[in-house]
Amino acid sequence: MSEALLEVNALSMRFGGLLAVDQVAFSLQPKEIFAIIGPNGAGKTTVFNCISGFYQPSGGGITLAGSSIAGLGSHNVARRGVVRTFQNVRLFKSMTALENLLVAQHRQARTSFLAGLFNTAGYRRAEQQALDNALHWLDYMGLRAYANRPAGNLAYGHQRRLEIARCMITKPQVLMLDEPAAGLNPQEKKDLQHLIDQLRQQHGVAVLLIEHDMGLVMGVSERILVMEYGKPIAMGTPEAIRHDERVIKAYLGEA
């Protein structure tokens, strides 16, 4: 196996008396599609919040290509190439689809205020590049026709695709998707599965996925980590996970 891109070691997160994440460990290989599943409240989103810098973990380590990113804060983690979507889509709803993609690049580029003020040639070139990138990603996601619509007015499935485009336009190494299939119809779910695979193939991104839709998880993931009550209870290929007794019990126990 090649060297891990992202390593999570003995990760723990405590909220008062609740140990929401307890000794979670896994690694993500370059270009791997890896899913975290588990019943409601298992701690999946909390793991995401720790990795993406929204929470400072109570314990354990998180490294990206060998360097620690634990506790760096969400902006710094994103700048290092680990970006995410949210369970409830978070876009700038009153800005257009195109503007959402331009803002994502500005935040990343830290464009100089003075260069903008004096409208230097370099600044204009960067602006044109940002516009070209944004239009490219709107095309890629089948959203070009909606470029000038406020993001909040787009159909839900389109908002989800725009949110993924907003991540991808920053050229991440790791794309983290938190329940990307929630609220999508069956055709949109199929398209999403194809999209995730395509992003990995064409853009070399590794994907970390939280998802309740087992069809999508089993169809797209190479490996799956199963959590229950904050703890990892199984990890393996979709085939192994499907037949794991603890996993079956965790899910049947929920019904």
Ligand X SMILES: Nc1ncnc2c1ncn2[C@@H]1O[C@H](COP(=O)(O)OP(=O)(O)OP(=O)(O)O)[C@@H](O)[C@H]1O
Q: Please give the residue ranges that form the binding site for ligand X (CB under 6 A).
A: 15, 18, 20, 38, 40-46
CB of 119 to ligand X, least distance (A): 44
Closest to ligand X by CB, 40 or 67: 40
> What DSSP element (H or E) covers 33?
strand 33-37
Structure tokens at 157: 């499935």
Distance CA 114, CA 187 (A): 47
Closest to ligand X by CB, 143 or 241: 241
Closest to ligand X by CB, 38 or 172: 38
Distance CA 90, CA 108 (A): 17
Using CA atoms of 191, 223, 34, 23 in order, give the dihedral in degrees to the nearest 10.
150
CB of 32 to ligand X, least distance (A): 21
Distance CA 83, CA 72 (A): 13
CB of 92 to ligand X, least distance (A): 24
CB of 96 to ligand X, least distance (A): 30
Amino acid present at 223: R
Closest to ligand X by CB, 47 or 130: 47
